[in-house]
Amino acid sequence: MACGCCCRRRAGSSPQPGRDEKFQPGGALDLSTGLVARRRCTDCFCIIVFIVAQVGFVVVTIAGLRDGNPSRLYFPRDYRGAYCGIAENWNGGPNTERHPHLSYTMNVTASVDSAAKQMICSSVARQALVTGADGEEPLLKDEADRAKYLCDCCLVPCGRCDRAFASGGDLSTPHDLVSTITARMAELTDPDLASSLFSDHGANAETFGNSVFWGQATRYLNQVCLPECSMSVAEGENGTESDFRSYTYRPAQDERLHFAWMALLEAPESSSLAAPIRSVMLSAFTFKALSRNDCPYDSSLCIPMPGIAFTNIAPGSGYCSFSLAADVANSVGEAAAGAFESLGGASLKASVTETFGEWVGDFQQTEDSFVVVSVLSFVIGLAFIVALRFFIGFCVWGAVVVTVLMFFIAGAGTYVRSGQCAGVGFIESSQQAMHAVKSAARARANRFRGGEVSNETMAELGDGSDYRGTQRFTKSGLPCLDWATQTRMPQYTPENYNESGLVKNYCRNPYDEDDDLYKARTIWCITGDPEVLWEECLPVGLLQPVCLRGYAVTEPGWRDALKASAFVIWFLGIVWMISVCCLANRIRLAIALNKVAAEFVAMNPRVLLIPIMQTLAAILWTVAWLYAASFLLSQVPAKYTPMGYYATYEEAYGTPSTCGPFERNAECQGTPGACTDKWPMGFVWKDTACETGPDGEPLCWRCAPPRYAVDPRMAASFFVFLWNSSFNVAMGQCLIAFATGAWFFGRTRSPHVVRQAVHTMFRYHLGSIALGSFIVALVQFIKYILEFLQRQAAARKNRCLVVVFRVLQCCVWVFEKFVKYISKNAYIQMALLGKPFCASAKAAYFLITRNLFRFGAMAALGAMIRLIGYLFIVAGTMIIGFLIVRAMHEEVSPFVPLVCFAIVSCVVARLFMTVFGLAVDTSLHCFLAVEEMGVGREHVPKVLRAFVMSRSDKEKLQYEVDAGASSPAHASPARRAGHAAISPTRAGGVGSFYDSQASNIDDRDGHASPMQI
């Protein structure tokens, strides 16, 4: 903010604030002798502020190096947010320093869910819990407990269920229960039975069958940190025997089966009805788990998944992927392996790795071609700049014509889309619309020649039986045959259908209500095409038919919006055409300025080093800042997210909004969760060790922090990043502007303008560059703050504030574009005049307002030229690169080299177009300065001399015009010719009179004749 003092008025810099000063010889804005040579240091205090900001950045970075840990930004995280390979984890998490791989273990709850439901909800369990038998009382004594059990198992219709459980069938006898559940659980607990687990004929086929499991495989797996990707209870970390643990499953406290499960498990030993079930619970549902050394979690999270192997996605990545074990894949056959491959497992990973390796190999084999093509890309760019001096007129006017065509084609396409029928292709709809236009044109021409006037009305939703118009062509443009003379469908004659109006060859829909079983949907005719017997028609002038089978765009509102958009696009096309006609002279000036810029770049190729150095500086600074910022981002406070327990997922995560775009009802408004109520948001995980709430409800849901957080230190670091990046861009703009201006006014067109620019900018104007880049960075920073606040409002489910901040972002974005544009032109003025930034920005602003149409024409044409330049350089590089690769390395696939060539050519095109675009803008400033001063015409590039008049020439022209207007009869023939040929000077131009008067000057100094501007 301290740089604001640099904008105070200085002595001699702005004698009258707010005054629109023009370029004048001897005035404050004087370029009559070329660029201002006597300069002084501008905005010096801003250099001090800039240095202080850098020192502050270093201090903040050093503090971050002490407290931050960038590995938290990319290290793997387990299901609860703990980092793999880190000793101290957040919220008392496990020590995973010796467990760097994020692998998978069995999610026991999901894996045994089907078997557990089948057992607990079976007739045997129901008898033990609810009904009792053989004189034995049921375990659930209270009627409410029995009702809860029946509802939990969906054995009766209740609010928690929409249907009965389908878990493999009922178990009506203890023998069935023991045999079935034991068989199902054996496939999960015994690794030797893993092959049958994934078989479509196994005991768990409904859950783990090949056609079921792989579509939702991650549901049955937990992400945990392990020493290696694949671990088993048979061997530990170093291949030695592992002290495995055992785990007996029981549902979590908030699971719906927990109540019934615990009632059976804790049943008295005297209960004969519960005995077989309890026996199965204690034996069949017991798993072997990895040791604490191998898996630093509760034993329920450390059970290996049988039949699945895990491997590193990439060496050293720490992330693991899963695949079928070899013995299981052989056992279940190719179908299972193929199913897994389609889901992107290890085989896909291997394929990707292999493909990437091939790409690297292709690039290494074609490195020589890459070097050659990279050099040639620069040659192509330079050739484009040189050729632009000769072909820019053709390019500009061609682009203007293409733009007009694009407007009308886009409008036509939008209009056709608005009426496109369902099941009809866009091309076919377009052809129908074109034929409809032709038919309407023929009818209008026939009416103009005195032909009959037809009534084309037809019921909108009718079948066309009432149509009596004069349409003679089908919707695809085929001519119709005369109903009376045609022989292709002899039953359709005027005599047979005398009430259908079968006149001449006009389209009709003839049918008889009593005799005809079928009738057409709308009017039609018999065609003269031997391959098309008949086809439907559209009434003359009807471009969009009524679609009886519906529209491609189903919503009527969207169809109306598309139709309105088509007319808006056409209107813009007409406005564009009118603008081009009105701005024709300014377009010619723009063409000349582009030629000047092309000549400058061609004569000073060293100026291309400026954007190259900018790019290298931007890359180095961005990498350094990212490294420093990673330490700040990784410092997530210990209490960033709550450490407590929550009863439901919704309470922890929140609920999304179900409101429509314009709804504001409290019922549909989302609620923020305890873990996600601010941005960056944490996430939710379920703890197996639940706590009990005040009312006895289980609390199992907990919060995990995000990987990164944003605090004031990060904000300060980010602002310095924006400031330095803007400073880098501004420095390049100033250097190119000074070089272009020095070359523009140079009497000898010195090739050392780049060196002069570097010396002048670094010697005198670093403070002004710092001030201008500070203003741009400040506006950008405000935009990002608004985005941060928008994300915070979204986390709080405040839809109103989200909309407000989005609107403010759009406004600031527009203002940012304005500030960047003014800053760029201010740098040009500073390079030309040597004034401070604020004075230069004021001069640039008033110069733009005095020449709005010229700057507008330059902006529009500049975009066209840059697009043409990009296409030419990229296409030329790709074509030549392909030919070189084919000639030098015929055996190598050209895909990878062409991708590399495309990247290089885009970078080269950006370099050339950046320099070229700024050279054009600077040339426009120089031209306007010369024009306003009326002197210096002899020093401007030749191509622009025809557009510039000296002050004495203007005075002569005005005198001749005034004299001719007062006494045309006594004026000389030349004067009378000039008076008749030219427009008054208030129109802003000169005509052929001045051309004739200036011929002596041209003969004297060899300069081109002036032209009308």
> What is the mean predicted confidence (pLDDT) over 245-266?
88
From first CA to last CA, the distance across the chain in angstroms is 44
Please report the pLDDT score of residue 420 as a whole number.
78
- Better-scored residue on pLDDT, 90 or 95: 95
Burial tier of 649 (Cβ tally within 10 Å: 0-12, 13-18, 19+): middle
- Looking up tokens 């000389």 gives 972
Task: Report the candidate in 781, 853, 792 with the shortest Cα–Cα distance to residue 815.
Answer: 781
Question: Which pLDDT band, with edges at 50, 70 and 90, does 993 fall under?
Answer: very low
Q: Within 13 A of 717's CA, how many CA atoms are on the CB side?
A: 24
Q: Ramachandran region of residue 354, left (φ > 0), alpha (ψ -120 to 50) or beta?
A: alpha
Please report the pLDDT score of residue 519 as a whole number.
79
Question: CA quadruple 271, 274, 279, 281: dihedral positive or negative?
Answer: negative
pLDDT digit string (tens) for 865-905? Answer: 888 888 999 999 999 989 998 888 887 788 888 888 888 88
Please report the pLDDT score of residue 558 as a whole number.
83
Please report the pLDDT score of residue 72 as a whole number.
86
CA distance 867 to 726: 24
- Better-scored residue on pLDDT, 135 or 333: 135
Q: Within 13 A of 566's CA, how many CA atoms are on the CB side?
A: 15
Is 1011 a residue whose pLDDT tops 70?
no
C-alpha distance from residue 872 to each of 220, 664, 867, 885, 991 (Å):
54, 52, 9, 20, 38
- Better-scored residue on pLDDT, 157 or 960: 157
Please report the pLDDT score of residue 343 as a whole number.
46
Strand, helix or coil at 780? helix
CA distance 147 to 161: 13
Count other C-beta atoms under 10 Å from residue 482's C-beta: 16
Is 962 a residue whose pLDDT tops 70?
no
Task: Report the candidate in 621, 641, 620, 627 with the shortest Cα–Cα distance to residue 68.
Answer: 627
- The percent of residues above 70 in pLDDT, for the chain, comes to 81
Q: 214-228, 418-432, 560-574, 583-597: lowest mean pLDDT where?
A: 418-432
Please report the pLDDT score of residue 240 as a whole number.
47
Q: In what helix (H) or strand (E) does residue 981 lie, and over which residues does it extend?
A: helix 973-981
Count other C-beta atoms under 10 Å from residue 306's C-beta: 22
Q: Highest-confidence range of 20-24, 398-402, 485-489, 963-967, by mean pLDDT?
A: 485-489
Token pair of 7, please?
């904008």
Please report the pLDDT score of residue 4 as a whole number.
47
C-alpha distance from residue 335 to each of 13, 198, 311, 332, 972 (Å):
82, 11, 21, 7, 101
Rg of the Cα atoms in the chain: 41
Mean pLDDT of the chain: 80
pLDDT digit string (tens) for 404-413? Answer: 888 888 888 8
Please report the pLDDT score of residue 169 as a whole number.
82
Token pair of 371, please?
């070097």
Is 220 a residue whose pLDDT tops 80?
yes
Q: 229-238, 342-351, 616-625, 824-833: lowest mean pLDDT where?
A: 342-351
- C-beta separation of 632 from 68 below 8 A: yes
Q: 513-517, 519-523, 637-641, 727-731: lowest mean pLDDT where?
A: 513-517
- C-beta separation of 480 from 473 below 8 A: yes
Question: Which pLDDT band, with edges at 50, 70 and 90, does 35 fall under?
Answer: confident
pLDDT digit string (tens) for 912-921? Answer: 888 888 999 9
Q: Which residues of 193-209 are buried (b: 16+ CB within 10 A; e: fewer)?
A: bbbbbbbeebbbbbbbb
Helix and strand counts by DSSP (H, E) for the chain: 31, 12
pLDDT digit string (tens) for 707-750? Answer: 999 999 999 999 999 999 999 999 999 999 999 998 888 755 56
Is 1012 a residue whose pLDDT tops 50?
no
> What is the mean predicted confidence (pLDDT) over 429-434?
72
pLDDT digit string (tens) for 589-641? Answer: 888 888 888 888 888 888 888 888 888 898 899 989 999 999 999 888 888 88
Task: Report the candidate in 320, 244, 302, 283 with the shortest Cα–Cα distance to residue 108.
Answer: 302
Which residues, 6 or more positions from 129, have their beta carbon under 8 angstroms from its beta carbon? 138, 139, 140, 146, 149, 260, 263, 264
pLDDT digit string (tens) for 538-586? Answer: 888 676 666 656 777 878 888 888 888 888 998 988 988 888 888 788 8
- The percent of residues above 90 in pLDDT, for the chain, comes to 24
> What is the mean predicted confidence (pLDDT) over 317-329?
71
CA distance 36 to 860: 30
Please report the pLDDT score of residue 239 as a whole number.
43
C-alpha distance from residue 951 to each of 12, 306, 933 (Å):
26, 93, 7
Q: Ramachandran region of residue 534, left (φ > 0), alpha (ψ -120 to 50) or beta?
A: beta
Entry pTM = 0.73
Please report the pLDDT score of residue 621 as a whole number.
92
CA distance 487 to 276: 89
Helix residue ranges, H only, 706-851: 712-745, 753-764, 766-795, 799-833, 837-850
> What is the mean predicted confidence (pLDDT) over 36-54?
91
Q: In what helix (H) or strand (E) does residue 671 lie, and over which residues does it extend?
A: strand 671-672
Please report the pLDDT score of residue 256 as a whole number.
82
Question: Cα 597 from chain centroid?
Answer: 33
CA distance 751 to 564: 55
- C-beta separation of 204 from 188 below 8 A: yes
Is 68 a residue whose pLDDT tops 90?
no
Please report the pLDDT score of residue 487 as a whole number.
87
- Looking up tokens 């005719």 gives 525
Task: Report the candidate in 626, 624, 793, 784 with the shortest Cα–Cα distance to residue 708.
Answer: 626
> What is the mean predicted confidence (pLDDT) over 341-350?
45
Give bridge partners of residue 701 from the DSSP assignment. Answer: 646, 686
- Please give the sequence-ordered ranges of beta strands (E in DSSP) within 496-640, or none if there are none: 524-526, 534-536
Helix residue ranges, H only, 889-945: 895-933, 942-945
CA distance 96 to 103: 13
Task: Report the candidate in 751, 25, 993, 872 with the shortest Cα–Cα distance to residue 392.
Answer: 872
Give bridge partners of residue 104 from the DSSP assignment. Answer: 223
CA distance 745 to 766: 24
Please report the pLDDT score of residue 995 as a whole number.
34
C-alpha distance from residue 751 to each of 101, 600, 603, 740 (Å):
60, 10, 7, 11
Please report the pLDDT score of residue 333 as a whole number.
54
Q: In what helix (H) or strand (E) does residue 311 lie, and over which residues does it extend?
A: strand 308-312
